Amino acid sequence: MKEPNINIERAVLSAIIFDPILLEDTQLQSNDFYFPFHQKLFIIYKELKNMDKPIDEHFIKHQLIKKGEFDEIALLDILSANPISNIKAYEEDIIEISRYRKFDLEIRKILSNDGNTFEKLFKINELKDKLEKSSLSFLSPAQNTANIIAEKPIFFLKDNLPIQKNEITMITGKGGGGKSFIAIWLSGMLTNKENLKVFAYLSEDKVENTKNRLEILRKITPHLMDFDIWGKDIRPQPFISKSRDGLLQPSEYWYQFTNHFNNYDVILLDPLIAFIADDENSNTEARFLFNLLNEWCVTKNKTIIIIHHHNKNNETRGASAFVDASRLHYKINKKENNNTSSFLFVEKTNHYAGKNEFEIKLFQDLNQKDEKNNNNKVFKNEALNIEILNIKKEDQEQKSKDIKALKEDKGINFG
Amino acid sequence: MDKNITNQLDFSNYLKAVPNIDKAVTSILENSVTIFLPYKRIELSKVHTDFEANDRTLEIKNELFEKLEIKGRLLGQIHKDVLEALLSTKKTFDPEETYFKVRTTAYKLLKKMHRDTSDKKWLLKQIEHISQSRIKIYYTNTSTPMGKETFDFGFISSIHTMENEKNIEINFTKEYTYFLAFNELIDYSSYIDDIMSLKKDIQKIEIKIKKEKNIKFKNGGINQEFIKSIVRYILTHNGKNNQIRVNNLIKKLDLQKVMTQREINMAITDLRRVEIQRLLKEKFGITLTNKSKTITFNIPEKKTKQYLQTKLKL
């Protein structure tokens, strides 16, 4: 935190005495000054201005004596300070330091109050947001392109189903179209292939059902790794809320959620609608929500995957801003005569250039499975490396031939 | 469960697995899980008392599967010596059923184990112990909806002795054959002699230390079985500068479950003795580095070790 600077405060106060017109434009308030005498002096400036009296040594002294606040040395320090012609920059500095000071004070107040930790955390987060948005110094200076190192967008699972790092990817499909299976498959793949820490909030299914689905998927993709989930038993809550005056703001739940899952690289949310406050058709709300999510992606290095429903016309439901704000949008479709795969089509992309259709083989072909059960693999255990196979009994003749070959070629004893 | 699923091999798969089992001395799993305890006199250990109290069952945790139970009889490294001596002998595979046998003499086995060759009774007792023990593995089968399954096997199904216990025929079980067929196997027969002679080598070291430093060893001297466990675990690795911290190894083998902390501390102290380090380096290429906190394994040039199967493809 920046420390208050007595010389800057003196210089600004001195400049106003030399050029009282400065008082007309200033945004300064008396409590922006750190030193009590400076605060009192600024109040007197304002009073003199209101009384249409000149702001000069004589009247200032008179007013101070009247209020019993006259401090000759402090006043002399101001009068002897070098006045400055442009006080704007100094003014901003004083305001910013004052904001930090007030913020600090507020935090202390919140912390010393009674109440539970979540309430305190929420209030502090609210305050932090306010400070970040209002503080002048939080506007980053513009960067010159000459000083920026070019960086290509990074994609995970390039060969399987590209997911852009630190961006929002949206996957949409109609009910029963395999969205949740794709969500589980993606989570397992990202954990295994990209070594990422994945959290999937699959809020429409029981965790046990999700586990069952994962095991079904492992029949085709055995290396799908375990990942962390929440299920139906934990009620999802909106990430945004409306303030009393009807303005959108991040909800208390949002702060809790982002803090809670700060350690994860990938956050998968299924379905999007569970996290919307009021109206899924409102572009304002959609934009606000996605701005929040995007900010989280960039500032905290998160990659977000969102599962969303289709409407009756097999189009993405709700506000168009959902799709606009995502960097990559896949649409899930099934193909006739194919019960084993899901097909994902790239509907919208900002950075990805490559094929626009991906086939994800999820399930075993039931017809083939029967055949396999009779002739080939029955089950496989990864951990033990045990595979039990059930191959048709060879006839005796073949058996003898094999044994003879092993005896002769490899010198193995039989008997 | 599918009625076709059993813990026995189909004959054609058996024939495919035969060449690997023929060469194998051990499976990685047997060496990296504490099935064979690091005790010479198991019946005097605390773990044995617990085992008796718990319906003759000892539970071992391991990261490879949910848990493993040793039932019926606890086995020690000495039993592993016998098993390896048997498995490094020429095997005979049954032409009709899916199991194998070993035909040998007590003399040959005892000689291989660097023991008194007249001690037939002792040898048969150890083989009998092995046949009395069963291993039950609890695991999650990732490809069936119900998931949890068990696999249960014994090593030896029958022992025949002939000509006044001179000739021995050991029949291994179909389940153990099946277990070997689907596990990673190692042929470290070039190390067998060194492993078997560890006992004598360590005894020599004990005598030397006693003489030179006038130290009296308590509790039966240096825990050779502990050193054997470590050696057997390390030998499952490829020998290209493999490293593991001693403490991690203790955890991996779940030794805290089967040894007291005092026993572990004493065993580690013995492992760190200069003479033991010299022996392990010379015979196995095992050294202690990082202030004796880390075990490093570099396969000696003259030794060979062969992995037989990393994942059996049948």
Provide the pairing of β-strand B65-71 with B134-140: antiparallel
Closest residue of chain A to B100, computed from CA coordinates: A414
Stated as kind and residue range, the H or E segment containing B112 is: helix B106-112
**Does the pLDDT of residue A403 top 80, yes or no?**
yes
Provide the pairing of β-strand B91-93 with B100-105: antiparallel
Query: What pLDDT was estimated at residue A311?
Result: 78
Single-letter amino acid, residue B14: Y
Name the percent of chain A lying above pLDDT 90: 14
Q: Which of A64-73, A140-149, A348-357, B295-304 has the lowest mean pLDDT?
A: A140-149
**Does the pLDDT of residue A372 top 70, yes or no?**
no
**Does the pLDDT of residue A376 top 50, yes or no?**
no
Given the structure tokens 């039932």, which residue do they identify?
B71
Tokens of B90: 């020429």
Q: Residue A344 forms beta bridges with which residues?
A: A332, A358
**Contact flag B183-A388 (C-beta cutoff 8 Å):** no
**Contact flag B314-A373 (C-beta cutoff 8 Å):** no
- Residue A410 backbone dihedrals phi, psi, to 5 degrees: -110, 0
Residue A353, judged by CB atoms within 10 A of its CB (0-12, 13-18, 19+), counts as exposed
Query: What pLDDT was estimated at residue A100?
Result: 81
B244 touches chain A (CB under 8 A): no
Among left, alpha and beta (phi > 0; psi -120 to 50; other), residue B35 is alpha
Tokens of A36: 């009590």
Range A224-246 burial, b when 16+ CB lie within 10 A, else e: beebebbbeeeebebbbbeeeee
What whole-number distance in Å separates Cα of residue A379 and Cα of residue A389? 7
What whole-number distance in Å separates Cα of residue A25 and Cα of residue B185? 86
Are B93 and B18 in contact by the 8 Å Cβ rule? The answer is yes
Picking from A289, A227, A284, A281, the residue whose alpha carbon sits closest to that of residue A253 is: A289
Q: Count of residues for chain B?
A: 314
**Contact flag B15-A380 (C-beta cutoff 8 Å):** no
Q: Nearest by CB to A385, which of B13, B143, B182? A: B182
Helix extents (H) in B182-259: 189-196, 198-213, 224-234, 246-252, 255-258
- Residue A193 backbone dihedrals phi, psi, to 5 degrees: -80, -35
3-state secondary structure of B252: helix
Question: Sorting pLDDT into bands at 50, 70 and 90, what band is A179?
Answer: confident
Query: What pLDDT was estimated at residue A375?
Result: 38
Given the structure tokens 């022992």, which residue do they identify?
B159
B140 touches chain A (CB under 8 A): yes
Closest residue of chain B to A388, computed from CA coordinates: B5
Mutate to test the interface with A, among B143, B151, B183, B307 (most CBs of A within 10 A): B143
**Contact flag B22-A218 (C-beta cutoff 8 Å):** no
Give yes or no for a cis peptide into A83 (omega within 30° of 0).
no
A385-397: per-residue pLDDT in tens?
Answer: 333 333 344 456 7
**Contact flag A389-B13 (C-beta cutoff 8 Å):** yes
Q: Nearest by CB to B143, which of A379, A391, A394? A: A379
Query: Taking each helix axis from N to C terminus, what angle separates B224-234 and B189-196, rounded to the nearest 10 degrees?
Result: 170
Shortest distance between the Cα of A390 and any Cα of chain B, in A, equals: 6
Shortest distance between the Cα of B296 and any Cα of chain A, in A, equals: 26
Q: Count of residues for chain A?
A: 415
Range B96-128 burial, b when 16+ CB lie within 10 A, else e: eebbbbbbbbbeebbebbbbeeeebeebbebbe
* Averaged pLDDT in 10-residue chunks for chain B of 314 residues: 54 86 91 88 86 91 83 94 95 91 94 90 93 89 71 91 86 92 87 92 89 74 91 88 89 86 90 92 90 88 70 42
pTM above 0.95, yes or no: no
**Contact flag B11-A399 (C-beta cutoff 8 Å):** yes
Mutate to test the interface with A, among B13, B138, B142, B169 (most CBs of A within 10 A): B142
**Contact flag A390-B15 (C-beta cutoff 8 Å):** no
Provide DSSP, A65-102: HHHT---HHHHHHHHTSPP-S--HHHHHHHHHHHHHHH
Are A415 and B95 in contact by the 8 Å Cβ rule? The answer is yes
Distance of CA B313 to the CA centre of its chain: 25
Given the structure tokens 């049948």, which residue do they identify?
B314
Q: How many degrees, rounded to 5, is the angle at CA A273 between CA A267 and CA A277? A: 100
Question: Sorting pLDDT into bands at 50, 70 and 90, what band is A316?
Answer: confident
Looking at beta carbons, which residues of chain B come within 8 Å of A406?
A: 15, 18-19, 93
Stated as kind and residue range, the H or E segment containing B132 is: helix B120-132
Query: What pLDDT was estimated at residue B2?
Result: 34
**Contact flag A384-B142 (C-beta cutoff 8 Å):** no
Closest residue of chain B to A226, computed from CA coordinates: B142
Q: Nearest by CB to A215, which of B13, B142, B312? A: B142
**Contact flag A414-B2 (C-beta cutoff 8 Å):** no
Between A54 and A267, the more confident residue is A267
Picking from A256, A195, A266, the residue whose alpha carbon sits closest to that of residue A229 is: A266
Question: Sorting pLDDT into bands at 50, 70 and 90, what band is A150?
Answer: confident
Long-range contacts of A116-122 (CB under 8 A, 24+ apart): A118/A252, A118/A256, A121/A255, A121/A256, A121/A259, A122/A252, A122/A255, A122/A256
- Residue A331 backbone dihedrals phi, psi, to 5 degrees: -115, 130
Query: What pLDDT was estimated at residue B308?
Result: 67
Stated as kind and residue range, the H or E segment containing B16 is: helix B11-23
List all residues 6 or more positions away from A276 whose beta carbon is below 8 Å from its beta carbon.
Answer: A238, A240, A285, A286, A289, A318
Chain A residues within 8 A (CB-CB) of chain B? 212, 215-216, 218-219, 222, 373, 378-391, 393-394, 399, 402-403, 406, 410, 412-415
Are B156 and B131 in contact by the 8 Å Cβ rule? The answer is yes
Looking at beta carbons, which residues of chain A come within 8 Å of B142?
A: 215, 218, 222, 380-382
Among left, alpha and beta (phi > 0; psi -120 to 50; other), residue B107 is alpha
Range A44-53 burial, b when 16+ CB lie within 10 A, else e: bbeebeeeee
B3 touches chain A (CB under 8 A): no
Q: How many degrees, rounded to 5, is the angle at CA B153 between CA B151 and CA B158? A: 160
User: Mind spelling out the 3-state secondary structure of A28-63?
Assistant: CCHHHCCCHHHHHHHHHHHHHHHCCCCCCHHHHHHH
CB atoms within 10 A of CB A336: 5
- Residue A168 backbone dihedrals phi, psi, to 5 degrees: -100, 125
ipTM: 0.72
What whole-number distance in Å separates Cα of residue B174 and Cα of residue B187? 21
Looking at beta carbons, which residues of chain B come within 8 Å of A390?
A: 4-5, 10
A96-135: per-residue pLDDT in tens?
Answer: 888 888 888 888 888 888 778 878 888 888 877 777 666 5
**Does the pLDDT of residue A137 top 60, yes or no?**
no
A224-239: per-residue pLDDT in tens?
Answer: 888 999 998 888 888 9
- Residue B41 backbone dihedrals phi, psi, to 5 degrees: -110, 80
Mutate to test the interface with A, among B6, B141, B310 (most CBs of A within 10 A): B141
Tokens of A52: 């249409």
Are B65 and B55 in contact by the 8 Å Cβ rule? The answer is no
Q: Residue B245 forms beta bridges with which residues?
A: B294
**Contact flag B22-A383 (C-beta cutoff 8 Å):** no
Shortest distance between the Cα of B15 and any Cα of chain A, in A, equals: 7
What is the rounded average pLDDT of the residues A174-203?
A: 88
Picking from A268, A189, A197, A188, the residue whose alpha carbon sits closest to that of residue A236 is: A268
Query: What pLDDT was estimated at residue A133?
Result: 64
Looking at beta carbons, which residues of chain A come within 8 Å of B143?
A: 215, 218-219, 222, 379-381
Helix extents (H) in A113-223: 117-134, 179-193, 207-218
Query: What pLDDT was estimated at residue B101?
Result: 94
What is the rounded average pLDDT of the residues A303-319?
A: 83
Are B123 and B99 in contact by the 8 Å Cβ rule? The answer is no
Closest residue of chain B to A379, computed from CA coordinates: B143
Tokens of A371: 């055949």
Among left, alpha and beta (phi > 0; psi -120 to 50; other), residue B168 is beta
Picking from A170, A173, A155, the residue whose alpha carbon sits closest to that of residue A326 is: A170
B169 touches chain A (CB under 8 A): no
Query: What pLDDT was estimated at residue A141?
Result: 63
- Break chain B down into helix, strand, coil percent, rounded to 5: 45, 25, 30
Given the structure tokens 């071992």, which residue do they identify?
B60
Looking at beta carbons, which residues of chain A come within 8 Å of B183?
A: 384-386
Residue B5, judged by CB atoms within 10 A of its CB (0-12, 13-18, 19+), counts as middle
